[in-house]
Structure formats: C-alpha cells, structure tokens
Structure 1
Amino acid sequence: MKYSVFFSLSLWVVAAQAQLSPNGATASFKGSLPPKPTAALSAEQEAGLAKELAEVTKAFEAVKNHPRAADADIFLKAVRYALEFHEWYDKKPEDGVKKATALLEEAKKRIAALGKNETPWMKGSGQKVLGYYSKIDDSPQPYGVEIPEGLELGAGKKPVPMWIWLHGRGDTATDLPFVYSRLMAKKPGQFQPAGTIVIHPFGRYCNGWKSAGETDVFECRDDAISRFNVDTNRVALAGFSMGGAGAWHMGAHYPDQWACVHTGAGFADVKRYQKLTPEKYPVWYEQAMWGVYDVPDYARNFFNVPLISYSGEVDAQRDSAEYMMEVLAKEDIHPPHLIGPGMPHKYHPETIKEVQAWIEKAVAKGRDLFPNEVHIQTKTPFYGRVKWLNLHGMEESWKEARLDAKVVDGQTIEMKSQNVTRIVFYPPPQVRKGGGKIKVVIDGTTLQLKAGPVAPKFETFMTPGPKVAGAFCRLIKENGVWRDFGNAEPFQHDSPAGGKPGAHPGPMDASFLKRFLVVLPDGKSSSAAVDAWVEAESAHFIQRWKSLMRGDTRVVKASEIADIYEAGKTQSLILWGTPESNSCIKKLAGDLPVKWDAQKVAMAGQSYDAKTHVPLMTYPCLKSPGFEAVINSGLTFREAHDKTNSLQNPKLPDWAILDITQPPSAEAAGKVVAADFFDDRWQVKKK
C-alpha cells in the first residue's frame, strides 16, 4: 500500500499552478451556469419538443398524486428546464432532440404504469434513475441507483449496505444530461462493491454539495432507504473531485451519518485553494463565514468516523488532501492517504482496489451509534450535533467551539468544552447501568443528572426517533458555571445563556437548506426605486434558484398569508419589500431590530435614507419559537461566484444595509454600507 510520499519540488510546483486558472475559475467554466448551448436547437425543434412536453404533462395530471409520481416527473422537469435555459450540449442539435425525446418516451411509459399502480422500473438489477419530491421546494429531483446482479432485496431479506457516490463538477451536467445518462447508462460507476447498492445524487446540479445540494444528499438517501432494504448503519459516503470536496464537507459536518468517508481529490477550504494572500482577502464577515464550510474548522469531527483519502501523485488537488493530513495530524488523527503513482486527476487502477477494500471493511463493521467518546468541533451550532451529543449553543458564533465527551465508567461522563453555553445529550446505554442517575463532570464541575427514560429507535440518521418526554439531558452555562437545565424544559431563544439554536443560527443563506416560501409584496412603497429593486431582485432570486438549484420556488403574495407567525413555524419565510409594500413585514415590524418607515432605515445606531437603502436580514420572532424569516435576500453568492464551487459560500452575515443607487451586479445586489452578525441573543451588537 502506497501512502502519502515525498515527491519532487518541481513536480509539485507544476501541479499546484494548474489547480485553478488565473481568474480563479475551474477549467470547465464556460462563463455561466448553466452554460450557453453548444448545439442550439432551431425554433422548430424546440417548438416540437414543447408541444410533446405539454401533451405528456397533461397526461401526468392523472397520476401526480401517486406516491412514486416523482419517478415520472423528473423527466418532464428535465425537458422543461432544457427548453427554458437552452441546455443543449451535444455535438449537433439532433442529439439534443434525441435525448429529450427519449426522456419524454420514458415519462409516457412510467405515467401509464403508475396509472395501473405499477412501477416496473423498480424491478431487477442494473442501473436505474429515480426521483423524489424535495421538502425544500416540492421540486422533483433525480438520482441514480446501481443494484448488482443477484442482490436479494425485500421483506425477509438481510439488509444490504449502501454507498453514496458524489459526482464531480460538470457545468453541462444539468437535469437532462444527468437523467439521460442514468437512464441509458451502459457502464457501471467508479466503484462496484459486492452485494451493495450504490446511489448517485444529482446534488441540485453544480454547487459543491452545499446549500440545497447538501440537503439533496440526505433526501435521496432517505428515499432510497424507503424503497430498498438498506442497513442504515452501513452507509458509506464517497466522491471524487467536486464530489471529493463534498465528501470532505459532509463527512466533517455530519460525521455520525456514515459508516465511513472516502475523499478523492477535492478542495477542503477557500483561502488555500484560492491561493489568497492578505491583500486579496474579502471583507471580514465573509472571511468569518468561510467557517460555514471550511473543513479544517471541523477536523476533530473525524474522530467520529473512519476516513480514507486518495490523490493522484501529480494531481493539483493533491495539495488539499496533504493540507488536511497536516491539520488532522495536529489533532492526532492519522487516516490513510493513498497515492495513485503517476496519476493526474483520476484513480490509479490498482490503488482504487485498495480504496474499495478499505471502505468495504469499514462498512462491514458499521457505524457505532453510542461510542464511548464523541468529539465536536464547529463554528456554528447548525453543525453541532454528533452521535448522542449536541453542542446546542455557543458563547460567540463564528469562533471555534469544541465539545469532547467520554464515558469513563458505568455512571460517569466527562466533558470538556470551549465556547459552549448549552448542551443537549441523550445518555448512552453504557451510562444507564446504575439506574436513573448519571454523573457528569464538565470543565471540572460535577453534576448529578436524571438520565430520563429510554427513547426507542433514538437515532436513524438526521433526527431522533419518536419523542419521549424527558429523554434528553440539558446543561447550561451561566456566568462561567455549568448547571443542570433539566430534562423536560426545551431551550428557547431567551434562555438564560442565550445562544443561537442549531435550528436557526444564521446567516441568511442557512434558510435555503430547508423548506422556504417566497412572499412577494402586496402593495407599493413610497420609493419607486426601492419597489423596482425589490421586483428585480426577487425575480432574480426565483430565476437563479431555478437555474442553479434546479427547482421552482413556492411563491405567494403577502396578502395570501393568513397568520404569519404560524406560517413561519413550518418553513422559512423569504419576505420581499418594505413595511409599506409587504403586509407581512408590516406585521413583523415591531419584532425586528430595525426601525423602518418611509423616510429612514435605522439600524445599529445609524440612519439611512429609506428611498435609496434597503435592509437585508435573517431573524427569528423571539415570541414565537420556531419562527424564521429572511428579508430582502435570496442566496447571497451570485453568478460571479459560480466559476468555482469554492466560492459558492455565504457572502453576507445576519444583516446588511444596501445602497441601491449602486446597481446590482454579478457579485452583489447593491453597495453594502453596513453589515454584521447579531450576537448570540439575536441582538444588534454594540459598537
């Protein structure tokens, strides 16, 4: 086995320089996502496809409520989006027509079968393309599945392991090419583990497995589990190139979800990957938000899951893996890093066998839901839950927080914390031997806690199983001293220790990983300029979500919301406008930390002309737990940041004031004249 080895300095310099082009773009970037067509269809060809799509869409209406309707709808969406964005990337237009026609023919077959309550495409082995409806926006999202020959599935059969393979970047790999390639696939994927299902998430196209792409991995995983007899404790995560970056990210941020993680040739952070020197650093709050995704900030989480990395010997992206090996070594984590001799950006045919054997061994062992030790490192409580432990609140978000817990005997858990104010944990079985009491020694303070009742099926993947009152223990830190917060009472925003909760810690972009509803104005404001900006920017976000995140946003007018507080408990509300133009914003005005009328916008001790300035923010209504709203913002990374997935990160913090006399651009929606995070009690920070 060949691990990380010394190689010549000259070779390293050449490889490192080839990583990104001088403008920071990846080699495949063609100037936009999705790119312009390479073989555009004629108006007659597009009209013919549009007519056929309309006919099949009409037929789909009869089966749209079938539990497996998404298996047909993914084909309709793929053709619809290809027509709307002119996503024709073949050598000649006829090839694009051929692919779109093939998808519509398959949709017809599936619609007819669903009408008989049949799903023949689910039968047998081989490669399949399936779909599910995303909880984020109700859009049909595709994914591929590989089922090896002879694998026995179904009731009464032994649960089988599953690998999740994250694909690399493909600027032209929009819905139609992805779905067609999965439908017509002749070759198996990168790995073919024996007796194992392999699924291929779409990842919402090309976002580096972040934002809605991150959610897509879990949603298609859960859909596959609902269809096949999968052993949920033997699921592996793996990927290469952009998929390798995704495996780094999702392995570090969700280490308790996988039996093991394999990272192949993917970036792990912004600064090093972009080769940024101090004079090129962005504004301070954008640097702080590198901590949302930068894997080095989550390195200790790899204590919780087996990890294996691979790099080609002469691959420019080897640098990222080498850097991560250095970061991990400082934490005394030493995973294998296999090197493909002489290889550029690809697997070596022999080394890949070693990688597969290692993953198969880890998967056979399976994940441990209740290990004696759990380690958490994070910059935000959004990624604070690992195994039976939840870092629920921080003294200061976007600063490093650590929480380490260890079971030392039948009734004692030792914990050490840094920048932590609230902890929720489910006492694991090995500390329940002494009955209902357990001892916790945290940062030198000894506490006696009630263990609470056992929660059946405590953990499958993302969330605990059926809720059992009092099953969780809660610790809170006040004035530097830890105490028992009790079992039954949940933490609220206004708990004594404060701390933004893991469900909604900001920034604005965090709301787009989960279900959201766009709420447009139902009136006019006193400023025609502001109304024009709101109209243009809300339309820009709706179109950008469709083109980049491959879904149709759910949109209503403010007048259609009967009770804003109830509506905001089940979804994020994306409110566009002003208190004058949007009745929902008007209802919230008294709860918001901004004074906002027709004349001025006052925030953080400064006032701005309301006719030329717009506030953007994410904010919970503290009197309505669970409520979440974003005002006047969609995704804060824009078209200019699509040139490399390493730049598709949040660009604005919890709030900002924009001067809209500076027109929107590919980088910003206006001139940022003020911006900051709220403190960990959701208050405006004092200067």
Structure 2
Amino acid sequence: MRPLLSALVLLSILPAASRAQLGANGATASFKGSLPPKPTSALDPEKEAGYSRLVDRLQAEFEEVRKHPRSADAAIFLKALRYAIDFDEWYDKKPEDSEKKVLELINEAKKRIFDLKRNETPWLKGAGNKVLGFYSKIDDSAQPYGVEIPEGLEIGAKEIPMWIWLHGRGDTATDLAFVYSKLKATKPGQFRPQGTIVIHPFGRYCNGWKSAGEIDVLECRDDAIAHFKVDVNRIALAGFSMGGAGAWHMGAHYADQWAVVHTGAGFVDVKRYQKLTPEKMPVAYEQTLWGLYDVPDYARNFLNVPLISYSGEQDAQRDSAEYMMEVLGKEGLKPPHLIGAGMGHKYHPETIKEVQALVEKAVEKGRELFPNEIHIQTKTALYGRMKWMNLHGLEESWKDARLDAKVAGAQGIEIQTKNVSRIVFYPPPQVRKGGDKVTVKIDGSELSLTIGPEMPKFETFMSTGPKVAGGFCRLIKENGKWRDFGNAQPFQHEGPEGGKPSAHPGLMDTSFMKRFLVVLPDGKSSSAAVDAWVEAESSHFITRWRSLMRGDARVVKASEIKDVYEAGKTQSLILWGTPESNSCIKALAKSLPFKWDAKDLSPLNPVGNHPALDASTHVPLLTYPALKSAGFEVVINSGLTFREAHDRTNSLQNPKLPDWAILDITQAPSAESAGKVVEAGFFDEKWQVK
C-alpha cells in the first residue's frame, strides 16, 4: 500500500483527477432523465390499486393518532407509500422486490399506529438503527430521518454529541427507498464516533441540500436534539459527494451552528464545476444569483468553525476542494485536506480513521457561542447571522459584503465592515461585565450604546434564536455614517421604506424556505390566455413541490382569505393570477411596484417612462414585502424558478430569476422556463425597481 498522505497536502504533489465529474451535457452520471425517474419495473396495475386502497384505510386509522407528539414517526410510512404509488416510484429490477418494500412499510405503519393508540413508542427504545419523522414547518409535511444509536449509549442520562451525515445523490432514493433502507439497516454508516448518535436527514430527496433541503437538515436536527438530549454545542456536520457539497454549503452559510464541518468531495460552485466557458454562460442576472449558494463567496465564514476536508487522490471532485483551499488560503486559513491515496470517489479505509479522529477532537472541544472574534462574508442578508452578530442589511445586495467584529476590553467592540448598511448584535458576556454601556468603534467612528436585557436561553441560539424585547443593539448606516438605531424598537419591515432585511432580502425562491401558503384565483381575468397560463403553472408548481421537495403544498382559494394582511403575518403568500382574478392580489395592487390592469403591465420605473406591455399576453413574476409584516412577503405567479431541465445536476438547482420578471406567455412553458423572459431585474435596497 502506498504511504498515507494526510493533512495539508501540497497541491503539486499529486496528479490531476483522471475522470470527468460530469457528462458532456453537464449532467450527473446517475441522472435518468427526470426526478423522480420513470419506473424500472412497474407494478401490476391491479396490485398497485389494491395497495392504494390499503394505504387509504391506514390513513383513516392514522387520523385517530395524528395529534400524538410522535405521530410523524408513523406518517412518514404513509407518505412514502402514497408518493410511490402516485409517481410510480418502482426502481427495483423485479416488481416483487418493490412489493416487498411496500409490504414492509405497510406492516410497520400498522404497528406504529397501533402503538400510538396505546400511547406507546417502542421503536424509540434501545440501540441500533431507527427511522423517525417530524412535521416540517414549511408545509406541515412528514419528513423522515435516520438515527444510529451505538450499543451502550444511555439516552437521557446526560447530554450527548451528535453527527449529522448528509447522503450523496440518489435519483431513485425517494421516500420509499430512504425509509425502507433506514428501517432495515443493520450496520452503522461510514463513521462510528464513540458515545455519539449519528442522524441521517432525508433532505427532501435530491436538491443538493439547498432550499427546503437545507431547512430539512435544521428541522430534523432540532427534532433529534429535543428527543435524544443532544448537547447543542457538540454537533458535527459531515457528508460525502452530494452530501459533501451540502456540507460545504451548510458549513459556510450556517457556520455558527456546528462544532466542526467535514466535507468529503462535493462541488462548491456553478461556473467551475460546470466548466462554463464564455459562450455557455447564462444571462447576467443568473450569474449574479450564483452568489446565493456558491461557497467561495462565503469562504471567510470558515474562520468561525473548524473545517476538515477529504478527497480521493483520483477523484475529479478533488478539484473543488483544492480550489477551496486556494480561496481559504487567501483569507489566512489552512484547514486539513486529507487525500486518500489511490482512491477515486470514495474514502480510503485508513484515511477515514484520520478524518474521524479530527472530527471527534473538534466535537469534544465544542462550539463556542461567544468568541472574541466573529467574521461574516455574504452576498445576501439571508445568510448574515453569525453567533452574536447579524449583518442585517447590505448597501447593495449580491455584491460581496463583510463584517469583522472583535471584543476590545470589558466595554468595547471593534467592527470593520464592507458593503453593510445595518447591524444587529447581542453584546456577549465578556462585554456585559463592564456595565450597561458598550463602546463600539466601527469603520473609524465611535459610538456609545446602551446594553439591553440579557437573554434567558441564549445558550441554544439555533436556527430561530430567542426573542427578548430590547435585547439587541442596532446600528444603521445613513449617508455614509453609522448611528445608534436604538434597542427599544426593531428595524422597520413595512414595505419599501424599511429596506431589505435579513428576514426577506429578495428572490422568489427564498420564500419557499419558510412557511408558505399557495393562494389560487377566485375569479377570471379579461384574458383567457393568462387564466390558462395561471392554471397550468400553479398546477405545475404544486406537482413539482410534491415530486421534488416531497411535500404537499398548502393550497386555498383567494376567497378563503378574509384578510390578506392578517394571513400574511405568519406565512409567505404565493398568489396566482391577476388583480382581476385573485381578490388578494387586488387588495395589494396599489402597494405593488407595477402598473397592472386589464390592458397594461409595466414596472413603475422611477427614471423615465416605461413602455407598457400587453397584459393579455404578459404576466409579472415577483416577490415583494407588500404585506407590511415582519419577515413575510408575497410572491406573485411563481414557484421555484429552477425547473426540470436543471435537475440533471444539483449544481444547477439554483434560482433562475431575480426579484421580478415579466414573461411573454405566447411562448409556451418548457423544462427551462415558464415563458419568454422579456424583462427581469432586482429591486434596490428600498424595494424600488432599479
């Protein structure tokens, strides 16, 4: 065996990767033409119908226990069966093998429903592999995840560490296959950390751990924390291949959530990974939108969390890790990059031991909630929070923004910024010891701020964070100068005058990362063509959300919304139609940045006159904070903006449209777009058309 090459390997030592990472069309090798793919060996229609009737009967039984705290542990089986039947998700070589999985899930669903009726949960007890569920806050869907509990680990006796393992791409790994594999698993996964549970998020199937997929990771983490008494400061994030890409992405974008991040292979950006030359580049705004997920644009965040990378010596995806080592090196970081000698796209059996030892060491040390230094790099306020500091607003979104803060004595904080307009921070304990004032030196200015009340449960500070009136200090930049915004009131969220906050910094796609409600038309418009397009595209989104994001979107008609402002306080509203056909859009029409009536459609451009477009053949797609409520917004006439053609590789499952667009619907929808884009753009930081 060749000598083991481990941490900090020089890039010049090893040969270049020997095989292509993607096909000639930029698709992943496993792609079978669609997500989910067509069936490999379909079930007999009569048998399938029989299973469907049985699932319906089980669903009726399940309704009796739906309110049980662990009912999601049973719901995941019913959902897996229903989706498999509805989408013909039969991927075994022989129909009887698929039927075996169906029967296993039916029997387990029966058992769990029976036990829940008796208020018992025997599947939670003991060591070994388990499959559990939770209800997502996004759409109330039951989402599965796997858990490994090592022998001898006593749950509940004390707080324990946890690893989160992100799986690789699996085009046929839908709910049925995932739930079955975790139910029948008898062996532990790639890593076997001592005294530690390992959870396996589903990630909403196959989306590169982005969008609802990343929220799935956070939600199943929180479910496991609550049930298994996990130490929130000793959680490791790790993954390989698509999971490695997910670890890169979630490690950089949520760096404050982990004790350590381990990336095994995985892409980190679009342009380099797709090998895009100038003639292949998409439109400018789509290139700008790569800044939502491209990891190099968030590299500096790894100053906040230990990072351990692995690549096979001969793996084409090693290029991405080496590229990140170059980017990180420019930020003063030199994390371990272990190389598996002679390996392709898999772990070396000896190197994996080194990886585990390094991760376990970092987990044992744990996450530091209140470090003396914090570093933030982002292109959107959506990903602006880091431990006790929040880059709350940018001077210009989608351009590089940075914030570096450090504690300077018992009553001081020093902050350096670039392209930042608003900051919210929680004075850490080492500053609070100095009294009720803090001196902030920021970009050459000095301010004295009053410290608000201490947070009672700040030690968790997970995905949502605590809320205490006046607990945060706030800074705002006006006319090039910073001032104290005060901590007695929040930043304004009421529409354009409030600017783009971290809760809603723009992009239609980001509204599907939190709770949303689809609102369909309750009438007709003057254009039969527009009505037909709205009906087809809203239906397309609802089906696509189900097939790709594995949840049933919550849907109502506009007539069911008594007060659109009240309905928008706790959820994003996805409104389909026009002011004529949708009463909710009509109620908001005057607050939207468009002239839009039965005849004409055009953005309200503050500079010059904008020629109107024919409203009978054009529709607007946009996101806008028209609800005047903190953190929620409306989206009009759009679902996810990446479509079926982009599923061929997870690197392309990114937003394809900016804050607003106008489509010519005389061009029929396709696998790449919902129509011909005639105009598109970003709103500025005051929500005005640029």
Q: Normalized against structure 2, the TM-score is what?
A: 0.97
Alignment of 1:324-343 (within 5 A): 324-343=324-343
Q: Cα–Cα, structure 1 residues 442 and 575, in superposed 2: closer, same or farther, change >3 Å?
A: same
Determine the structure 2 residue equivalent to 1:381.
381
SS of the aligned residue for 1:409 comes to coil
Distance in 2, Cα, partners of 1:257 & 1:79: 34
Alignment of 1:381-460 (within 5 A): 381-460=381-460
Q: Cα–Cα, structure 1 residues 498 and 417, in superposed 2: closer, same or farther, change >3 Å?
A: farther
Q: CA deviation at 1:54?
A: 1.7
Q: Deviations over 1:423-446 (max 9, x none)?
A: 000000111222111111000101
Determine the structure 1 residue equivalent to 2:95.
93
Determine the structure 1 residue equivalent to 2:689.
684
Q: Cα–Cα, structure 1 residues 569 and 116, in superposed 2: closer, same or farther, change >3 Å?
A: same
SS of the aligned residue for 1:127 comes to strand
Determine the structure 1 residue equivalent to 2:43.
41
Alignment of 1:231-310 (within 5 A): 231-310=231-310
Structure 2: tracts of 5 or more residues without a match: none
Q: CA deviation at 1:51?
A: 2.0
Q: CA deviation at 1:625?
A: 3.8
SS of the aligned residue for 2:81 comes to helix
Whichever residue aligns with residue 595 of structure 2, its letter is K
Q: CA deviation at 1:666?
A: 0.2
Determine the structure 2 residue equivalent to 1:78.
80
CA contact (8 A) 2:237 2:247 kept: yes
SS of the aligned residue for 1:636 comes to coil
Whichever residue aligns with residue 656 of structure 1, its letter is A
Determine the structure 2 residue equivalent to 1:620.
625
SS of the aligned residue for 1:363 comes to helix
Task: Find 2:612's aligned residue among 595, 607, 611.
Answer: 607
CA contact (8 A) 1:309 1:337 kept: yes
Distance in 2, Cα, partners of 1:249 & 1:459: 24
Determine the structure 2 residue equivalent to 1:642.
647
Determine the structure 1 residue equivalent to 2:174.
174
Distance in 1, Cα, partners of 2:181 & 2:524: 47
Alignment of 1:182-261 (within 5 A): 182-261=182-261
SS of the aligned residue for 1:310 comes to strand
Q: CA deviation at 1:626?
A: 3.9
Determine the structure 2 residue equivalent to 1:633.
638
Q: CA deviation at 1:643?
A: 0.2
SS of the aligned residue for 2:163 comes to strand
Whichever residue aligns with residue 639 of structure 1, its letter is E
Determine the structure 2 residue equivalent to 1:12.
16
Q: Cα–Cα, structure 1 residues 495 and 110, in superposed 2: closer, same or farther, change >3 Å?
A: closer
Whichever residue aligns with residue 620 of structure 2, its letter is P
Alignment of 1:123-138 (within 5 A): 123-138=125-140
Distance in 2, Cα, partners of 1:622 & 1:466: 24
Distance in 1, Cα, partners of 2:421 & 2:109: 53
Q: CA deviation at 1:621?
A: 1.8
Distance in 1, Cα, partners of 2:392 & 2:246: 24
SS of the aligned residue for 1:12 comes to coil
Q: Deviations over 1:293-327 (max 9, x none)?
A: 00000000000000000000000000000000000
The alignment status of 1:652 with 2:654, answered yes or no, reads no
SS of the aligned residue for 1:475 comes to strand
Distance in 1, Cα, partners of 2:466 & 2:334: 37
Distance in 2, Cα, partners of 1:665 & 1:464: 37
Distance in 2, Cα, partners of 1:335 & 1:513: 31
Q: CA deviation at 1:461?
A: 3.8
Q: CA deviation at 1:11?
A: 4.7
Distance in 1, Cα, partners of 2:438 & 2:364: 33
Whichever residue aligns with residue 488 of structure 2, its letter is A
The alignment status of 1:506 with 2:510, answered yes or no, reads no
Q: Deviations over 1:385-417 (max 9, x none)?
A: 000000001100001100000112111111000
Q: Deviations over 1:112-144 (max 9, x none)?
A: 000000000000000000001111111100000
CA contact (8 A) 1:422 1:497 kept: no
CA contact (8 A) 2:595 2:601 kept: yes
Distance in 2, Cα, partners of 1:308 & 1:584: 49
What value does the CA root-mean-square deviation take over the aligned residues?
Answer: 1.5
Determine the structure 1 residue equivalent to 2:582.
582
Whichever residue aligns with residue 403 of structure 1, its letter is L
Q: CA deviation at 1:566?
A: 1.0
Q: Deviations over 1:355-384 (max 9, x none)?
A: 000000000000000000000000000000
Structure 1: tracts of 5 or more residues without a match: none
CA contact (8 A) 1:458 1:464 kept: no
Q: CA deviation at 1:10?
A: 10
Distance in 1, Cα, partners of 2:26 & 2:463: 38
Whichever residue aligns with residue 235 of structure 2, its letter is V
Distance in 2, Cα, partners of 1:609 & 1:466: 48
Distance in 1, Cα, partners of 2:439 & 2:496: 23
Q: Deviations over 1:543-598 (max 9, x none)?
A: 00000000001000000001100111100100000000000000000010011111
Q: CA deviation at 1:81?
A: 0.4
Determine the structure 2 residue equivalent to 1:491.
491
CA contact (8 A) 2:207 2:650 kept: yes
Distance in 2, Cα, partners of 1:267 & 1:93: 35
Distance in 1, Cα, partners of 2:390 & 2:12: 45
CA contact (8 A) 1:164 1:236 kept: yes
Q: CA deviation at 1:507?
A: 0.3
CA contact (8 A) 2:496 2:688 kept: no
Q: Cα–Cα, structure 1 residues 497 and 421, in superposed 2: closer, same or farther, change >3 Å?
A: farther
SS of the aligned residue for 2:329 comes to helix
CA contact (8 A) 1:147 1:197 kept: yes
Distance in 2, Cα, partners of 1:135 & 1:389: 25
Q: CA deviation at 1:7?
A: 7.2
| Equivalent residues, number | 681
Distance in 2, Cα, partners of 1:482 & 1:229: 43
SS of the aligned residue for 1:476 comes to strand
Q: CA deviation at 1:497?
A: 8.7
Q: CA deviation at 1:489?
A: 1.3
SS of the aligned residue for 2:207 comes to coil
Whichever residue aligns with residue 617 of structure 1, its letter is L
Determine the structure 1 residue equivalent to 2:25.
23
Whichever residue aligns with residue 96 of structure 1, its letter is S
Q: Equivalent pairs: percent with the same residue?
A: 76
Distance in 2, Cα, partners of 1:459 & 1:683: 39
Q: CA deviation at 1:493?
A: 3.7
The alignment status of 1:351 with 2:355, answered yes or no, reads no
CA contact (8 A) 2:529 2:617 kept: yes
Determine the structure 2 residue equivalent to 1:482.
482
Q: CA deviation at 1:49?
A: 1.1
CA contact (8 A) 1:422 1:499 kept: no
The alignment status of 1:662 with 2:667, answered yes or no, reads yes
Whichever residue aligns with residue 262 of structure 2, its letter is H
Q: CA deviation at 1:3?
A: 3.0
Q: CA deviation at 1:505?
A: 0.6
Determine the structure 2 residue equivalent to 1:366.
366
Q: Normalized against structure 1, the TM-score is what?
A: 0.97
Alignment of 1:90-129 (within 5 A): 90-129=92-131
Q: CA deviation at 1:48?
A: 2.0
Whichever residue aligns with residue 179 of structure 1, its letter is V
Distance in 2, Cα, partners of 1:383 & 1:256: 11
SS of the aligned residue for 2:448 comes to strand
